[in-house]
Amino acid sequence: MRVLITGARGFIAKNLIATLENITAGKDGTYCLSEEISLYKYSRDLGKETLQVFCRDCDFVFYLAGVNRPRDPDEYWEGNVLLLKYMLEALKDQMNCCPIMYASSIHAESKNPYGESKRAGEELLYQYSKDTGVPVYIYRLPNVFGKWSRPNYNSVVATFCYNLARDLPIQIHQPEKKLELVYIDDVVRTLVNLLSVVEHGDMKNPISMKDIYHVSLQEIADLLASFKRSRVDGQIPDMKAESFSQRLYSTYLTYLPKEQIKYPCIMNRDSRGSFTELFRTEDRGQVSVNVTKPGFVKGEHWHHTKNEKFIVVKGTGLIRLRKIDSNEILDFHVSGEIIEVVDIPAGYAHNIINIGEEDLVTIMWASECFHREMPDTFSLKVEEE
């Protein structure tokens, strides 16, 4: 299948191209394509002659070209209407009846140059479809966010991410204003699945856009501020699959300047080694890394409710447990050579001993984050003297 993508250097097109270039027909479980994809990637700098060549034998068109924020309002008409008209004429002249997807906007109803140009593009396509019988898919996209969106151009989300990552101010004139937002991966999935619709000949029921988030500007700003703080306090935001928070966090990280890609953790050191909290979550506890020097013992405490999981990834150690009302000691030999999980139940005194000759490195998960005012941690040696 030969697929023409206009606006190939734009935000949506770049994500679509990256997906289509990595699909192997019949082997990608996400999509139902039965043949290989060839891409014709068109941007205005290639000239209209190149577009005419692409129109000669393409099997599907994703019309993603468009102008959002030109210096001259006349550019709206040039970028959103005239180029589309030229392409439609080229397809018609060459008797190419391939389906066309057109990226419109929810602002097509707005009485401003941008909205009017998008609406004019829609009307061109409706008339073209009426005249030729060619299927057209017009999507009035809400605000699209995700990786590779240009700040101060594509979306307010991109601008907020870019500015907050660089300690630049953001402007919120209407904090409670709700935005309709859709994530770039959902847009791309919908577009790619249109190719499956074409392959199977079902032109009447294109897949509709879904998963639209309704979020206020203040909510977006607050979430992004929490992401920035997480690099200090270790508090990981809600990562529920396909949640707005998860997808906004993924977007935010793509705007970090190089010097912020790496950041330090706070290590608590003493003669026995070190203990470092890595991540904290509201409902999934915390993850830490513990380093124990050879010959030293760590732990010697128990918890009422908190339970932990110890995973030794380097060195050789001994984990010992004793129920607080029992004299029986349970010994578990552990090593970085064999990755195993040792559960530490509530109500058991426990310790970890480095019995090797190198540092013992242990990943520790606790069901609750540590809070100094309510530590749920009580000193008690496993082996009483």
Query: Do 109 and 115 meet the contact criterion of CB atoms below 8 Å apart?
Result: yes
Q: How many CA atoms lie within 13 A of 74 on its CB side?
A: 0
How far apart CA 215 and CA 183 sit, in angstroms, is 13
Following DSSP, what letter does each residue of 287-339 receive, concatenated?
Answer: EEEEEE-TT-EEEEEE-SS--EEEEEEESEEEEEEEETT----EEEEEETTB-
Q: 3-state DSSP call for residue 18?
A: helix
Which position among 102, 114, 128, 162 bears the catalytic label? 114
Q: In this structure, which long-range contacts are made by residues 252-260, counting pairs with CB atoms below 8 Å and at least 24 apart in sequence?
A: 252/161, 252/164, 252/165, 252/224, 252/227, 254/147, 254/148, 254/161, 255/151, 255/158, 255/161, 255/162, 255/165, 256/165, 257/165, 257/166, 260/165, 260/231
Query: Do 335 and 315 meet the contact criterion of CB atoms below 8 Å apart?
Result: yes
Known catalytic residue: 114? Answer: yes
Q: Could you tell me the end-to-end alpha-carbon distance of the chain, in angstroms, rounded to an integer?
A: 77
Catalytic residues: 114
